[in-house]
Amino acid sequence: MLILYKMKKFILFTILSIFSFSAYADNVSRTIYNSYVNKDMNHWKIIIDSLQVELEKGNLKVQQKWELLNYQYGYIAWAISKKKEKKEEAEYYLDIAKDNLEKLVENSGKTATSNAYSAAFVAYEIGITPFKAPFIGLKSMKYGETAIKQDSLNHFALIQYGNIMNYMPRAFGGSKDKALVYYKKAKEIMKKDEVLYKENWLYMNLILTIADIYKNKKDYEITKQYYLEALELEPGYKFVEGLMGNLIRN
């Protein structure tokens, strides 16, 4: 517990010691990325907790608030993936993230990005409590469609609509092929901006999500290409090396 406390103090001190936004964004984004690659979600959690404290003190700029929301979004997805083990934690952070989003919308209005987050958060509610799907599932779709209409080149909106297509049952309109169209378009847009693709957990996750669809379609050559792209971005990435090894053995 003492080690964890000292780590929290160190991270908080690091955040408070960074005065320029560019330095802040680069440092925190890289730390989150490393947490993603190393599957170190405890570190990820410490960062979002520390940033939330600074948000509540009024110490974050608008763009920093959006960055925090992105990191909360990623952490909640991981917590949901752990099923019952992290259900209460997923609910806790989802409530915080929804409140943060509501306040951002109050200041910035409903944009493609905010609607994309709304789509994601409705989907998260379903992930936490599946029986809600028939009652609120369409809300996620509507938010996603609105986001795309507002800005068809918004990479985050494209990813969220891709997620809707990817995870929605076929009986309700889901389609892996349609998901790939939106994912690939988002990837193409992000690839044009080094800030969006280099050491960005969201971009790496996008590559692996696309690879997973192709793997399930048994298109192993294309799957391999995406694994290789991930390894080019992050040489020695153990998780992807393991996926590649399994692909070759099978």
Q: Tell me how long the chain is.
A: 250
Residue where a domain stops, chosen among 126, 158, 174: 174
Could you report the per-residue pLDDT of 104-147, keeping only the tens digit for each?
999 989 999 999 999 999 999 999 999 998 889 899 999 999 99
pLDDT at 134: 87
> Long-range CB contacts (< 8 A, 24+ apart) of 179-185?
179/213, 180/210, 180/213, 182/158, 183/158, 183/159, 183/209, 183/210, 183/213, 184/210, 185/158
Place of tokens 């028939």: 134
Assess whether 190 and 156 both reside in one domain.
no
pLDDT at 74: 98
Assess whether 170 and 186 both reside in one domain.
no
Phi, psi of 39 (to 5 degrees): 55, 40
Could you report the per-residue pLDDT of 44-72, keeping only the tens digit for each?
999 999 999 999 999 999 999 999 999 99
Assess whether 9 and 103 both reside in one domain.
yes
Tell me how far apart the alpha carbons of residues 209 and 195 are, in angstroms, rounded to a whole number.
20
**DSSP string of 123-168, one letter each residue:** HHHHHHSGGGHHHHHHHHHHHHHHHHHH-TT-HHHHHHHHHHHHHS
Assess whether 225 and 237 both reside in one domain.
yes
pLDDT at 25: 52
Could you report the per-residue pLDDT of 156-210, keeping only the tens digit for each?
999 999 999 999 999 889 999 999 999 999 999 999 999 999 999 999 999 999 9
Residue where a domain stops, chosen among 140, 174, 208: 174
Residue where a domain stops, chosen among 108, 136, 151: 108
Q: Which amino acid would we find at residue 140? A: S
Question: Is-contact 61 22, C-beta < 8 A?
Answer: no
Containing structural domain, residue 167: 110-174
Query: Structure pTM?
Result: 0.90
Number of domains the chain contains: 3
Q: Which amino acid would we find at residue 201? A: W
Tokens, residue 31: 């730390």
Assess whether 190 and 219 both reside in one domain.
yes
Tokens, residue 92: 């806790």
Question: Is-contact 3 46, C-beta < 8 A?
Answer: no
Assess whether 103 and 114 both reside in one domain.
no
